[in-house]
Structure 1
Amino acid sequence: MPQARRAELDARAIILLLVCCVLWGLNQVAVKAALVEIGPLWQAGLRSAVAGLLVWLWALARGIRLFERDGSLPGGLLAGALFAAEFGCIFLGLQFTSASRMVVFLYLSPFVVALGMPWIARSERLGPRQWAGLALAFGAVAFAFAEGLAAPQGPHQWWGDAMGLAAAVFWGGTTLAIRATRLSAASAEKTLLYQLAVSALALCAAAVAAGETLPAQLSLRLLGLFGFQAVIVSFASYLVWFWLVRHYAATRLAVFTLSTPLFGLLSGALLLGEGISGRLVVALVALAIGIICVNR
């Protein structure tokens, strides 16, 4: 039986969410830095494969059964396919549109969750003040990336934007699929393993089909960047995220993900010397106000 979820986020959940969002923001920097040595599809596919192996070893060590029949296979395959489709749309879309535009379209995903969750759990319906807070939080992200939005990217920019919007739908759809199927009662380890296994197969196959080549040698720099993505982000932080999805209201969790791109900008400023603009400071303040409105 699916257990009752907490409607409000407690201090533990907020701290874990903020840590995850900071790590996901740092991950944007790690992915960007690694692209000079390895293609995006191989990068995404191989990190899913390594993280999936770690999840299996973690579950084995803790005595968590991953392969018993519990009726979660259809939901697991659906969530895994949506997870892989999200990354596929992101990487394909970036060939036609800018990273700034992709971020803004991608982080429409909390609206997908907010619109879909009442059909699954009526208790997670947002009120007018919460919708206003969600809109404010999204507006903060759009404001932070406004300068990149205006830059033209060529005649096929609309195609890249459409792929970004599709990625948002797939990301939100993954959360909804987890909550609407037998995965809602499965362990976080099993939920994550479904997505990592399916995405590893799909993305590595896409890398082969796209003609991406693997690096001839692995530098210490690449190993460090890839290790961070696979171990810290795809294994540890995603495991925490799916544990949160199992125990707390999805609509309250989704709005926190809007802080990820801003943490990415902040990480770039601190680690890559890109500078902290007044626009970013205003966006962070507006984001904080929006998150408070949704969760109070």
Structure 2
Amino acid sequence: MTDSRPAASHTTLGTAFVLLWCTGYIAGKLMVAHAAPMTALVWRFGVAGLVFAALALAARAPWGNARSVLHSAVTGVLMLALQFGGVYLALSWDASAGVAALVIGTMPMVVAVLAVAGGDERLAPVQWAGLLLGVAGVALVVADRIDGTTEWAAWLALLAGLAGISFGTVYQKRHASQGDLRAGLAVQNLAATAVLLPGALWLEGFRFAHASGFYLPMLWTVVVNSLGGFALLFVLIRRGAATRVAALFFLMPPVTALFGSWTLGEHLTALKLGGFALAAVGVWLVTRPTSHAAR
């Protein structure tokens, strides 16, 4: 009889990851109301990087050779600096949250194409169907939040963010998922900080408010999202195929919509609930062990 414990473990980790990750959108929205976008990210990634570095040093964790450190740095620039920098800039340029969620929500499909094209994975037809259902679910969730006023610069920023998280996920699976968790995440966060710091200083004047409205959500993004969420993502990528892990991002807009209805008073409609159901079915089709065909 097949042991179901690995699948159950992946489901538990995946559920925890989605819940932790989605709180970051709420905290990020609160944080950028009191800080310039790149400045907010420098605070988030800089503090998280120092905490991970302290944990690695305290445990005398191995940092790896120069090549492994470089791979972790490239992953950090792609998954952290490029992804979140693109999203936060787009939001600061008046892109709606719906447009941002729709663009980033297509990430699992992009990762699947990259993984298959690169020879890393093979997907069954039912998994491709699951990816399409996931995209449809995301579209339904954010449909009533999309407008036609988004500027081209915001679209380019969002596409840059999509490229960052997509290429970063595949890159980390190939090159940066075997080292120590604490050391790897320290390098990733500090590399992202180094890339974003010049923009935060020279373009934004490192502008943020000395107020609890900034510090509290910033600490949440550090402790819950960076320390918790990215640690779980690191483990999931290490254990599973890139497409299987990426499919979890289909659930981000629906779960974020639920959190938004509870914390920000956003309206939860039947259309959103239908999109949630479609996205959940899509994730199940992509990630169920019997249909997984990674190699």
Q: Name the TM-score, length of structure 1 as normaliser.
A: 0.88
State, as a whole percentage, how many aligned pairs show the same letter.
26
Is structure 2 residue 192 aligned with structure 1 residue 195? no
* Structure 1 residues 109 and 216: CA distance shift in structure 2, 3 A: closer
Corresponding residue to 1:115 among 110, 113, 116: 113
Within 5 A, what are the aligned runs for 1:203-222? 203-215=196-208, 217-219=210-212, 221-222=213-214
Query: What amino acid does structure 1 have at the position aligned with 2:160?
Result: A
Corresponding residue to 1:169 among 143, 147, 163: 163
Is the 8 Å Cα contact of residues 144 and 280 (structure 1) preserved in structure 2? yes
Output the CA distance in 2 between the equivalents of 1:127 and 1:159.
37
Corresponding residue to 2:16 among 6, 16, 19: 19
Is the 8 Å Cα contact of residues 108 and 165 (structure 1) preserved in structure 2? no
Within 5 A, what are the aligned runs for 1:90-169? 90-94=87-91, 95=93, 97-120=95-118, 122=120, 124-149=121-146, 151-153=147-149, 157-169=151-163
Spell out structure 1 runs of 4+ moving beyond 6 A. Answer: none
Is structure 2 residue 261 aligned with structure 1 residue 263? no
1:132 offset after TM fit, Å?
A: 0.8
Per-residue displacement from partner, 1:217-242 (whole Å, max 9, x unpaired)? 232x4332111101111112101210
SS of the equivalent of 2:177 reads helix
Output the CA distance in 2 between the equivalents of 1:24 and 1:9.
22
1:191 offset after TM fit, Å?
A: 2.7
* Structure 1 residues 39 and 119: CA distance shift in structure 2, 3 A: same
* Structure 1 residues 131 and 163: CA distance shift in structure 2, 3 A: same
Output the CA distance in 2 between the equivalents of 1:188 and 1:125.
27
* Structure 1 residues 45 and 224: CA distance shift in structure 2, 3 A: same
SS of the equivalent of 1:258 reads helix
Query: What amino acid does structure 2 have at the position aligned with 1:237?
Result: G
Corresponding residue to 2:76 among 72, 75, 80: 80
Is the 8 Å Cα contact of residues 112 and 243 (structure 2) preserved in structure 1? yes
Per-residue displacement from partner, 1:45-65 (whole Å, max 9, x unpaired)? 111011111111222333312
Is the 8 Å Cα contact of residues 140 and 284 (structure 1) preserved in structure 2? yes
> Gaps spanning 5+ residues in structure 1: where?
1-7
Corresponding residue to 2:276 among 265, 284, 291: 284
Query: What amino acid does structure 2 have at the position aligned with 1:106?
Result: I
* Structure 1 residues 23 and 212: CA distance shift in structure 2, 3 A: farther
Q: Name the TM-score, length of structure 2 as normaliser.
A: 0.88
Output the CA distance in 1 between the equivalents of 2:165 and 2:195.
16
Q: CA RMSD in A?
A: 2.0
Corresponding residue to 1:249 among 229, 241, 249: 241
Per-residue displacement from partner, 1:81-138 (whole Å, max 9, x unpaired)? 213122222223231532211211112221221112235554x321111011111011
Is the 8 Å Cα contact of residues 29 and 268 (structure 1) preserved in structure 2? yes
Is the 8 Å Cα contact of residues 46 and 193 (structure 2) preserved in structure 1? yes
> Gaps spanning 5+ residues in structure 2: where?
289-295
